[in-house]
Structure 1
């Protein structure tokens, strides 16, 4: 008698209770086998893969990933829900990172998984492109970002935004001794600042988010919503979000509407600039990225190309610097000795100007690019803040061909290979026993006069290899300008009881913002 015949003959004797016992027996057996074959990695449950663990640890996901990586020796495998197709590895091994982002760069592109999720918002822009399309845009971005004209334009717009808008807003919300005002969400303010700044640099248009009344700007709100809803596609299985997109339902409908607002704004900007160029014959009075690309006589870029290119730059420029500054101000508040050293350096740089006694304390101090470059300790503190709280905590690649990583991990075509930048900072083997401490001195030479250069594969906060961030210098200049200007004028006091918890997105926002009180500094105390 065959097994099928036996089951058919005994089917009427099989109860629901028997099936339940059989199911749980299989489930427990699968769990035991998983533990025996994957002793060091996180539990991969039958059918559900790693999903139950992620749901259980969602409020401390990055900390959990760090612990799991440390236990696994630096790399572990994961698997998603059955039939979902999600599988791959997460690593913190710098040798593995270098292998993926430089040695075998072509085998680890962004990949289809990443690109199709961002395609509606970014189209074929540089941060959503691979292969030849990416190479051309990278060449173009490098050429423009490093041009003296755009560098000067970036500094000028940044200086004007800081002194004409940011400081006015902070002055209006500052709290003198004895006064009582509600806390100011510094994260919201800095996101507004970087959004206005990058829009001015990329499109030549100031959206006007950073005013004293903190207005609700349609384009800015739509851009933020489009970004957050796009990131939701990384959390939701494709068999859920794709039908919703096709039927224009739920969050996919909201995403479509937000993207339409963003694209309409960008399209109108491009179209208006085309008209301006046609009427005037040149855009010599404009130094923004869009105008420079449009006036390039060697290329005739389409309106869609210009839109996608600029929207990609806005996405990259809005979140990264602002989020980095939020964590920096929080860490500075927690470490007053670091704040004192940064202030001392700023004071010494101002004294070089040989101003009349007392005038060096004047509130109208505007730092030059050369003075910002000389703020070595401040840059060390910002670098240390970025090490502990990288703006982009995780990088994702997609394996094109079967491969073996330097640590022996085997990868198959279609696997997703991720390296966790957040966790890399907390690995003792990479940064020493004090790896979890905020210690800017680790970035200073022994003489304190220069900065230590770390391997980009160990310190990958600006990505690494051919995709190393082209705006790294711009980001440091922006962060140092804001940090030095604010620290010189105000003591930033974080609201009592506030817990700085990372929000579960691909950008390391603070989940509950950063409520602060700004107290004007006293000149006498500063001099001492």
Structure 2
């Protein structure tokens, strides 16, 4: 089966989706002998519930996952058991406070005012014929915002001159090599790493860029209780029976890098696909604009709304959920069982060393899960009858924010950020996607648009606060 996979690697997610559609949601991939490439690929909600909830303890991230994502070190994405509990407990305590959401609100609107508005104004000065990559602009916004929120440091990547910041660029450069590590035999990518060639050279360069950016900004002497490093330093020193792979500073580097990846890519990926989809569905865009004006009572004079007010934007949230159903920021998950198991969906046997690849991308595109209109962009499917709010769907059917005990701790934060930025742009600007511009998912773990999102901008209203 390997030749067919290599032939379609340039369209990996859609190729997997086609296979899963034909095979009823679960497929056994057989690799070459001695290649350790046998995999079970699934998008079946029954299997997702089995792996992420019912048999959670049998499906840790495990050594194979840590090997592939070694760049993330001892961060929460790689962590299992006691180390994962430490991350979860500490992160949850930080993100559940009112002070955190006050900081989030302040950080988002400050970056809109000091970054997004000046950059968009500069683009508009170039005239309507000027086009740019909206995905890259939102990535810069998200990068600056998460750095400000977690490090109390604004790297200023979103400013009119668009300065090159290696760490911000490296976050994109690392994604394709990480996907290829899932697919290629381990010996192949390990040889590439040893020789420092190909995708592995890009990954090593990204690793260096992360270290150069993060280490100088880790302050172990800062006694500010709002500092994320203060909380994790305390957790590190109080931990027992946890074997870390490095010292405290290394652990803090890993912790922030994981939060940086999550904070940047959930926001930027979701919004990129959102603006592409509403450009193809102008009636949705009109309804979002009307909701902003009616529900928030914003008319000619714009005002920055609060976190609490953002919850009132029901239709906007429905449109965002519909976006990430079709284009989940994290497209797949990788598990290896500790003990042999049988997946209930398809009754498939998995050995203790068999990789299980869960395609969240395909789950959102299965007719058996979402109905015959599963490929259509229909925000109304998320609205409760009578317009009473956003419909709740099982996390196993809608695993965009993961599921079970490892459900994303930043779900609420991501939804709020997406609403704020989307509402600001939709209310003030018309985004015109360049006709003929190719838009397809990138072959990476994070579902960026492969060729970006080239757009032109026109102004609907001036960016004036009340």
TM-score, structure 2 as length reference: 0.92
Hey, what does 2:308 align to over in structure 1?
370
Hey, what does 1:183 align to over in structure 2?
131
Structure 2 distance, partners of 1:422, 1:255, is 24
Hey, what does 1:255 align to over in structure 2?
203
| 5+ residue gaps, structure 1 | 1-49, 354-359, 524-528
Conserved? CA contact 1:150–1:288, under 8 Å:
no
Conserved? CA contact 1:401–1:413, under 8 Å:
yes
Q: Does 1:155 align with 2:105?
A: yes
Hey, what does 2:244 align to over in structure 1?
none
Q: CA deviation at 1:227?
A: 4.4
Q: CA deviation at 1:292?
A: 4.3
Q: CA deviation at 1:298?
A: 7.8
Q: CA deviation at 1:89?
A: 1.1
Conserved? CA contact 2:175–2:444, under 8 Å:
no
Hey, what does 2:243 align to over in structure 1?
none
Structure 1 distance, partners of 2:234, 2:38, is 45
Hey, what does 2:83 align to over in structure 1?
133
Instruction: Give the match's secondary structure for 2:216.
Output: helix
Structure 2 distance, partners of 1:225, 1:445, is 40
1:26-425 correspondence to structure 2 within 5 Å: 50-119=1-70, 121-174=71-124, 179-270=127-218, 273-275=219-221, 277=222, 282-283=223-224, 287-294=226-233, 299=238, 302-351=248-297, 360-362=299-301, 364-407=302-345, 408-425=347-364
| 5+ residue gaps, structure 2 | 240-246
Q: Judging changes above 3 Å, is the alpha-carbon distance between structure 1 residues 180 and 346 closer, same or farther for their aligned structure 2 residues?
A: closer
Q: CA deviation at 1:170?
A: 1.2
Spell out, residue by residue over 1:113-135, the C-alpha distance to the aligned partner (whole angstroms, 9 max, x if none): 2211221x211111111122112
Conserved? CA contact 1:387–1:461, under 8 Å:
yes
Hey, what does 2:373 align to over in structure 1?
434
Structure 1 distance, partners of 2:455, 2:106, is 28
Q: Which moved more, 1:93-102 or 1:288-297?
A: 288-297
Q: Judging changes above 3 Å, is the alpha-carbon distance between structure 1 residues 256 and 107 closer, same or farther for their aligned structure 2 residues?
A: same
1:472-491 correspondence to structure 2 within 5 Å: 472-491=411-430
Q: CA deviation at 1:64?
A: 2.7
Q: Judging changes above 3 Å, is the alpha-carbon distance between structure 1 residues 249 and 502 closer, same or farther for their aligned structure 2 residues?
A: closer
Structure 2 distance, partners of 1:73, 1:251, is 33
- Equivalent of 1:461 in 397, 400, 413: 400
Q: CA deviation at 1:154?
A: 1.6
Q: Which moved more, 1:248-257 or 1:405-414?
A: 248-257
Conserved? CA contact 2:431–2:455, under 8 Å:
yes
Hey, what does 2:242 align to over in structure 1?
none
Hey, what does 1:19 align to over in structure 2?
none
Hey, what does 1:7 align to over in structure 2?
none
Q: Judging changes above 3 Å, is the alpha-carbon distance between structure 1 residues 156 and 292 closer, same or farther for their aligned structure 2 residues?
A: farther
Conserved? CA contact 1:197–1:206, under 8 Å:
yes
Structure 2 distance, partners of 1:154, 1:491, is 26
Structure 2 distance, partners of 1:61, 1:230, is 13
Which of these two proteins has the greater Rg computed from alpha carbons?
A: 1
Structure 2 distance, partners of 1:513, 1:201, is 26
Conserved? CA contact 2:314–2:389, under 8 Å:
yes
